[in-house]
Amino acid sequence: MLRPKIPTNPMPTGIVTPPAVIEPTTVVQHPVAPATAPVAPARSTVQLTPGAMVALVGGGTAVVLVVGAVLVSMLLAVAITAASLAICALAIRSLITADTKRH
């Protein structure tokens, strides 16, 4: 009664079509034109003026300060949330223990 029954695959019923026959085709290669030598693009050199260098350093410093301020504020938000949850847990625990001692 509790033995599993293994299903058997019945033979197909109806019209069974034989598999299609695939005939090989020939590959025709066309003559290849001679390859031309690739031309390297002209690379322009970037020259930083002292003003551009100061602007670059100032921009990098500003980005680092902004990202640091955002990360510190997120850390502070998590710390404040954790402290408030701990205080709430202590208050609830003291209310529960005071209620059980009263009865």
pLDDT tens string for the chain (103 positions)? 678 777 777 776 667 676 777 777 777 777 766 667 676 677 777 788 889 999 999 999 999 999 999 999 999 999 999 999 999 999 999 999 887 776 6
What is d(CA 70, CA 77) in angstroms, rounded to the nearest whole number? 11
Cβ contact 48:56 at 8 Å: yes
pLDDT score for 37: 66
53 CA to centre of own chain? 35
- Give the helix ranges, DSSP H, for the chain: 50-102
pLDDT score for 6: 75
What is d(CA 48, CA 51) in angstroms, rounded to the nearest whole number? 8
What is d(CA 96, CA 90) in angstroms, rounded to the nearest whole number? 10
pLDDT score for 5: 79
pTM, 2 dp? 0.45
pLDDT score for 51: 92
